[in-house]
Structure 1
Amino acid sequence: MQRDELTAWLRLLLCPGVGNTTARRLLAAFGLPQSIFEQDTAALGTLASAAQVTSLQTRPPDLEMQVEATWRWLQEAPIEGTQRWLCTLGDAMYPASLLVTEDPPLVLFMLGQPALLPSLGRSVAIVGSRNPTPQGTANAKQFARAFSDAGLAVISGMALGVDAAAHEGALEGPGADGLATVAVVGTGLDRVYPARHRDLAHRIAQRGLIMSEFPLGTPPVQANFPRRNRIISGLSAGTLVVEAALQSGSLITARYAGEQGKEVFAIPGSIHSPQSRGCHSLIRQGAKLVESAQDVLEELRLPETLAPNSPGLFRSDGAGEPASEDDSGLLIHMGHDPVSLDALCARTGLPTATLQARLLELELDGHVGRLPGGLFQRMASA
């Protein structure tokens, strides 16, 4: 991309009050952004409001700074083995699945492997809570690994919790012709948010893609994260919600998926867990209840599916050796809902010190998860 072309695209992107819908109408009528800015007031007025015409005819005050920053970002050496580029609405490489959605971004800032873009056609989104239960984290990781083993790329938002677990699980498998995972972020690509995911971002870029519709320098503004969720759902064949509270950004992603005609899947959980209520609400609204990755693959009618005993499909990553006979009895007493230490003492009759020691051993072996509030929960594989 030449600098004058970059300037025109960024000017269109930064015009206050214009928005994607009007910008797309202008592009359809006049072609590239350079042509839009060559039009007179009368021509622009046939497709835009008076306020929008004024905005289009006024150079944004921060345009030159943004052009310089973006041009420098494109020229600088990226993470080893990766590339940086802008994928515009007129680009032949623009993701086809996103192009047909109601509100495709004008520009996608990209970091990673451009050769992997065609593989985006075989992908599934995994989203969920930023504060998942241990079981939710394990589910996100093992479902992502199973999808990757089945030849799918996993799309998520690189947030804390379920998103990060999904990316990690996908990076353990082969993905879609080398495309392991895609992170759609809500900030500019010149920063990593949250900062603790810097190493994860590097690994995603080396085996996949990181993308954003927001200009460089965009900070983590709360309103941007729900907006980017339409891209996560739009890129994928279906969206799996692992855990979500009733007021959750994951439900926004699921709503976008439904509006885009995509499949929505949800993993059920305990009726006592706030993190399961969003999934249960989705299921009541028609989302597909799933218990294994195979359920998703079959619903999407994908030809490459895993055999029932394939590693990662049903077995939890954290599960070590099978629990001993004594521990199996304790697990039975636990059930599958969160339970307190006092309740377990009453159910088992064991002394508190003995019970704490055995629970610690089960936790280290991946059979039990520790929850906030002093609660424990049996992991699904145990």
Structure 2
Amino acid sequence: MGPRLSPEQRVSWLRLIRSENVGPRTFRSLVNHFGGAAAALDALPDLARRGGRPILVCSRAEAEREIAEIERRGAQLIALGEPDYPQTLAAADGAPPLITVAGAATVFQRPMVAIVGARNASSAGRSFASRLAQELGGAGWVIVSGLARGVDAAAHDASFRSGTVAVFAGGIDCLYPPEHADLAGRIVDDGALVTEMPLGWRPRGQDFPRRNRVIAGLSLGVVVVEAALRSGSLITARLATELGREVMAAPGSPLDPRCEGSNALLRDGATFITRSDDVIEALAPLVDRGPPPAPPISLAQAGAAGFEGGEPQDDQRMRVLELLGPSPAAIDDLVRQSGSDARTVQIVLLELELAGRLDRLPGGKVSLRDFGFRP
């Protein structure tokens, strides 16, 4: 892992990720392209304007207030590449550039496994999740989950003494569900509360898949206990598969709709587990191999010079735009088929993304949101 950010860099990083239409993948592209967050911030207004519309850029005052409030609450803001940032999460595609952590960040140095499942879990499902979490915690594993009702709460409650990580869908000050305040208080003694969302952010439905991606990214593997066919737990399992993590599931009654999703995972090739030894055995090769190296991200000083070079010509921009559509396209293909160099294509994509017109997808692919619209 790299050096810690300077206070000036931390403000610039937070301003960039809190600016409109800047997600983790866009952040990485901007910082790597312009040589640092400060230079990327300077470029944002022109990029968005050329993409089709202006955007809101987070002010220095807003970023400084958030940092001060995080520190006042006894939490910390950890940047991608810093020593305390979880290595498994850093290696994940779309890793958050900044996470807010309350509790013991040292817990990230140990191997982590996620246990997720139904909010309305049966008594048997909760008992199994509790026993699994307790035994895995005793074997040195940190349990990761989402602090939800049912399986998540059972897993956290059984492992808070050995170390557990709860990932929030909202700000660190916006606990959900609120009745788990006492559980969250117990977690921070030997574990951690984690979120990528701003202070004061109250979770919405669309924020939970983003939280689930962090759960999967932190963990070497995900265990699913009782999940319906349409559930957040299956989203976590899918995201874990995309990230190359091990997906495991406990079998359930074919008569219980709460087990249809987890049983479907087993049918589709998830590892069958009925005890903690099954989990440890499945994850042993990943522990031995260690986390893969994280993709590079620039830690250039805030005053670093931006990327030199002019903006794309109108005909270059149009050729890239014509190649885009609602279906995912590989960036390498766009470079080859447009006849432009990689730098030019990346700038056009950044323009469109900052204007809210482009989605970045796993595997280096992109798609156009407003297909049919042309400037």
TM-score by length of 1: 0.69
Cα distance in 2 for partners of 1:234, 1:296 equals: 17
**Partners of 2:116 and 2:160 in 1: CA distance:** 16
Q: Counterpart in 1 of 2:153?
A: 164
Is 2:171–2:198's contact at 8 Å kept on the other side of the alignment?
yes
- Does residue 74 (structure 1) correspond to residue 70 (structure 2)? The answer is yes
Partners of 2:20 and 2:57 within 8 A in 1: no
Which of 247, 256, 259 is the aligned partner of 1:276? Answer: 259
Paired residues for 1:180-195 under 5 Å: 180-195=163-178
Shift of 1:66: 3.7
The one-letter code matched in structure 1 to 2:16 is: L
Aligned-partner residue type, residue 50 of structure 1:
R
By how many angstroms is 1:75 displaced?
3.3
User: In the aligned structure 1, how far is the partner of 2:105 from the partner of 2:166?
Assistant: 14
Output the CA distance in 1 between the equivalents of 2:135 and 2:116: 15
Describe how 1:5-44 pairs up with structure 2 within 5 A.
5-39=9-43
In structure 2, the partner of 1:200 is: 183
1:132 aligns with 2:115: no
Q: Hey, what does 2:135 align to over in structure 1?
A: 146
How much has 1:4 moved relative to structure 2?
4.1
Q: Which SS does the other structure have where 2:102 is aligned? A: strand
1:105 to 86, 93, 96: 96
In structure 1, what is the equivalent of residue 240 of structure 2?
A: 257
How many angstroms apart in 1 are the aligned matches of 2:34 and 2:105?
Answer: 28
> Hey, what does 1:50 align to over in structure 2?
50
1:202 shift after superposition: 0.9
1:298-351 deviations in whole A, cap 9, x for unaligned?
Answer: 1112799xxxxxxxxxxxxxxxxxxxxxxxxxxxxxxxxxxxxxxxxxxxxxxx
Residue aligning to 1:87? 78
SS of 2:187 mapped into structure 1: helix
Q: Give 1:71's aligned amino acid.
A: I
Structure 1: give runs of 5+ residues left out of the alignment. 79-83, 175-179, 305-382
Contact 2:220/2:286 (<8 A) preserved = no
CA contact 1:130–1:163 (8 Å) conserved in 2: yes
Counterpart of 2:340? none
Match of 1:291 in 2: 274
> Are 1:243 and 2:239 an aligned pair?
no
Mean Cα deviation higher: 190-199 or 11-20: 11-20
Structure 1 residues 151-199: Cα deviation after superposition (integer angstroms, max 9, x where no partner): 1000000111100000011124x3xxxxx10011101001211111111
Secondary structure of 2:284's counterpart equals coil
Could you say which structure has the larger radius of gyration?
1
Query: 1:226 is paired with a residue of what secondary structure?
Result: helix
SS in 2 for 1:37: helix
Matching residue of 1:228 = 211
Q: Would you say the 8 A contact 1:98–1:104 is kept in 2?
A: yes
In 2, the alpha carbon distance for the partners of 1:147 and 1:204 equals 16
Number of aligned positions between the proteins: 283
Q: Which moved more, 1:1-10 or 1:186-195?
A: 1-10
**What is residue 267 of structure 1 aligned with on the other side?**
250
Distance 1:110 1:53, change over 3 A: farther
Partner amino acid, structure 2, of 1:181: T
* 1:87 to partner: Cα distance: 1.1
Q: Is the 8 A contact 1:239 1:265 kept in 2?
A: yes
Structure 1 residues 34, 191: closer, same or farther in 2, change over 3 A?
same
Q: What secondary structure does 1:217 align onto?
A: coil
Relative distance call for 1:201 and 1:290 in structure 2 (3 A) is: same
Counterparts of 1:163 and 1:89, CA distance in 2 = 26
Unaligned 5+ segments in structure 2 are: 288-375
Contact 1:17 1:52 in 2 (8 A): no
**Retained in 2: the 8 A contact 1:111–1:210?**
yes
Q: In the superposition, relative to structure 1, how do residues 215 and 137 fare at CA in structure 2: closer, same or farther (>3 Å)?
A: same
Q: Is the 8 A contact 1:18 1:52 kept in 2?
A: no
Secondary structure of 1:264's aligned partner: strand
Which residue of structure 2 aligns with residue 59 of structure 1?
A: 57
Please give the TM-score of this superposition, normalised by the length of structure 2: 0.70
* Aligned counterparts of 1:254 and 1:303: Cα–Cα separation in 2: 17
Aligned twin of 2:105: 114
Paired with 1:151 and 1:40, the residues of 2 have a C-alpha distance of 45
Q: Is the 8 A contact 1:10 1:67 kept in 2?
A: yes
- Residue 84 of structure 2 contacts residue 106 of structure 2 at CA under 8 Å; is this kept in 1? no
- How many angstroms does 1:14 deviate by? 2.1
* Alpha carbons 1:251, 1:278 under 8 Å: kept: yes
CA deviation after TM superposition for structure 1 residue 19, in Å? 2.6
Distance 1:181 1:11 in 2: 30
TM-fit CA distance, 1:2: 6.2
